[in-house]
Amino acid sequence: MNSSKPMINVALPKGRLGEKVYDLFETAGYPCEGIKEDSRKLIFENPQAGIRYFWVKPSDVAIYVERGAADIGVAGKDILLEYQPDIYELLDLNMGKCRMAVAGPKNFRDNTGRTLRVATKFSNIALDYYTSRCREIDIIKLQGSIEIAPILGLSDVIVDIVETGTTLYENNLEVLETIVPISARLISNKVSFKFKNREIESLVKKIRKNIKE
Ligand code: PRP
């Protein structure tokens, strides 16, 4: 046992996806006692396995990794596309699968004579998408419950994540266009990838073997 071996600091997204991601790490040989117990503790480590986990808000994972507070982490492709953090994307974990889509009222017809009002948490993704289609839009930036915007007339459409489609269905909305498929990605800080290369590469190899198709 070598307790001086470099620890890999991992930012895990708090929530259901994070628990599935942890299971993947555990199966790959990076277990950590107590991490799934119901508590308010946020940092867990297993020096023997050379791993330390932090539970962070899913949308914050990329910031921890970009700034080196975590060596690696798991973030949704939606966050990577939106914030373009300066990190390496190492693996597609093939979990947390959903899509980024334009949605709106059933039978919505775009009136191209008017600026399209788009409510979203993902302003950059929405802007890139509509810029590539030469469509002028007005972004209405919201933090959540985006589906309400077109119902109340705050926007014409939304750009948001669709997983099962239940939220749209229950609010009489539907997918109008799919922008991009989304899934969880293993990401690395660029400096850590250089200085902890052996440890990170070895982890990536073990994780890759356990990714479900
Ligand atoms: C996300 C997303 C949709 C919903 C889609 O919201 O913004 O509202 O999940 O999932 P579904 O297709 O399976 O219904 P989230 O739960 O993250 O909450 P939010 O309203 O705060 O964005």
Report the alpha-carbon distance of residue 172 to residue 58 in Å, rounded.
28
- Which pLDDT band holds residue 37 (cuts at 50, 70, 90)? confident
pTM above 0.85, yes or no: yes
By most ligand atoms within 8 Å of CB, the mutation choice from 151, 162, 168 for ligand 1 is 162
Task: Using the structure block, give the residue that is written with the tokens 């409510």.
Answer: 119
By most ligand atoms within 8 Å of CB, the mutation choice from 167, 171, 178 for ligand 1 is 167
Q: What pLDDT shows up at residue 3?
A: 52
Q: What pLDDT shows up at residue 99?
A: 98
Contact present, 197 and 88 (Cβ < 8 Å):
no
Per the structure block, which two tokens stand in for 107? Answer: 């039978």
DSSP code, position 49: T
Q: What pLDDT shows up at residue 31?
A: 97
Indicate which atom in ligand 1 lies nearest the CA of residue 170.
Answer: 14
Asked if residue 144 has its Cβ within 6 Å of ligand 1, the reply is yes
| Mean pLDDT computed over every residue of the chain | 96
pLDDT at 1 over 70: no
Q: What pLDDT shows up at residue 93?
A: 98
Q: What is the pLDDT of residues 92-146, one digit of tens each?
A: 999 999 999 999 999 899 999 999 999 999 999 999 999 999 999 999 999 999 9
Phi, psi of 193 (to 5 degrees): -60, -30
Report the alpha-carbon distance of residue 173 to residue 155 in Å, rounded.
13
Average pLDDT over residues 83-89: 98
Report the alpha-carbon distance of residue 209 to residue 30 in Å, rounded.
14
Q: What pLDDT shows up at residue 81?
A: 98
